[in-house]
Structure 1
Amino acid sequence: MVTFTQEQPQDADAIEQLLDRVFGQARCQKTSYRFRDRVAPVAPLCYVAKDGDKVIGTLRYWPVEIGPKGTPALLLGPLAVDETYRGLGLGADLMDVTLAACAAHGHEIIVLVSDLAEFYSKFNFTAAAPTGITMPGEKTDRIYIRGMVPNALAGVEGPVRPFGARFPKARSVKNRSVKRKAA
């Protein structure tokens, strides 16, 4: 019997092994992983699918910010299901369970990077490019967004950035004369 539970610390190794099997070890080189570097996932939103004690699916969420205002958002992913369990709807079940958790915890914006537009559109994700939301280093046609409440995306635009990252402050340039010693 498959169960869906919040990820626990003892699931960490099994999750990493599953992600390596599904995406390969080169997954950590993907642009989206830079947004997860040195930031913990949002624990109450991270779920696993288990068959008995075996982790067969995982879905995590990470804090990010959007635009110069630093609008809080979540970065969905990775979503992975063990190859032997694919086609049973477990990915969709993980989406349903975790999106309900996101709503229950008051999160308003979720962004993701994927080539699976058809799958994520079933969960009301749309292309982010028309909203003016981008992700540095990522193709705009791979970025999707979902507002969890009405008008969540109103006035939100700009690049997605890792949680806690700040835009560089503009520096004023002054005319300075430089004295140099003659050679």
Structure 2
Amino acid sequence: MSELRPLATIALADVEALLDAAFGTDRHQRTAYRVRVGLQPIGALSLAWVEGDRLTGCIQCWPVQLNSDDGHAVPMVMVGPVAVAPDRQGTGIGQQLMAASIAAAGDDAPLMLIGDPEYYGRFGFDAARTGGWRMPGPYEQRRLLARGAVPECSGMMGPRVTLAA
């Protein structure tokens, strides 16, 4: 039996093993990891796909912001990684995780990710408004995608900063 669960209910070692299997042990060198350094995933949007006792897929979402060149911070959610066990890829698990996470965020939520436009386009992600965005490391501009209420402006992506009251 398969079920969708909050990712926080899954042992961190199991999540890390799945991410290593899906993306390799060098995945921490990717630019996306630089953007979300020091952050914790957003619990309500980060999900696990479990088959029996086995974690076969997961999605994480992160609180990030676009630090616009005009000095404004625009809060967003960074989607990813979306990981599926290599032997279960192509079975729709990733699609179900994406759909559930987007539904939990809300249709107009400001979401962004780094990924294949050919895959993520089916979920409404595109690069139409991200041409002026920058990342703190190497990336392909065509793979910087967004959907929902995101601005068309220039700026640098980074972790969301919340000020203590």
Q: Which category of TM-score, normalised to the shorter sequence, fits these structures?
A: 0.7 to 0.9
1:96 equivalent in alignment to 2:99? yes
Whole-angstrom CA distance in 2 between matches of 1:146 and 1:88: 24
Find the counterpart in structure 1 of residue 62 from structure 2. Answer: 62
User: Rg: which structure is higher?
Assistant: 1
Amino acid at match of 1:133: W
Provide the rounded CA distance (Å) in 2 between the counterparts of 1:108 and 1:84.
Answer: 32
Name which structure has the greater RCO, CA cutoff 8 Å, separation 6+: 2
Contact 2:77/2:110 (8 A) holds in 1: yes
Which whole-Å CA distance do the structure 1 matches of 2:161 and 2:141 have between them?
A: 23
User: Who is 1:13 aligned against?
Assistant: 13
Cα distance in 2, alignment partners of residues 60 and 85 from structure 1: 18
Query: What amino acid maps onto 1:163 in structure 2?
Result: R
Which 4+ runs in 1 deviate beyond 4 A?
128-131
1:158 aligns with 2:155: yes
Give yes or no for contact 1:71–1:156 (8 Å, CA) kept in 2.
Answer: no
Kindly state the Cα deviation for residue 128 of structure 1 after the two structures are TM-superposed: 5.1
Equivalence map 1:83-162=2 (5 Å): 83-103=86-106, 108-114=109-115, 116-127=116-127, 131-137=131-137, 138-147=139-148, 152-154=149-151, 156-162=153-159
RMSD over aligned Cα, in angstroms? Answer: 2.1
CA separation of 1:6 and 1:17: change in aligned 2, threshold 3 A:
same
Q: What are the Cα deviations for residues 19-65 of structure 1, in whole angstroms up to 9, with x where unaligned? A: 01111110001111012221111111100000012100000000111
1:32 aligned residue:
32
Q: Distance in 2 between matches of 1:47 and 1:16?
A: 14
Structure 2 unaligned regions, length at least 5: none
SS at match of 1:145: strand
| Cα displacement (A) at 1:11 | 2.8
154 and 143 in structure 1: CA distance in 2 versus 1, 3 angstrom threshold: closer
Counting aligned pairs with the same residue, the percent is 32
Q: TM-score under structure 2 normalisation? A: 0.87
Once the two structures are superposed, what CA deviation does each residue of 1:101-130 show, in whole Å capped at 9, x if it has no partner? 1118xx72111011x211100000011565
Contact 1:11–1:55 (CA under 8 A) maintained in structure 2: no
CA contact (8 A) 2:18 2:83 kept: yes
Paired residues, what number? Answer: 159
Structure 1: any 5+ residue segments left out of the alignment?
166-183
TM-score normalised according to structure 1 size: 0.79
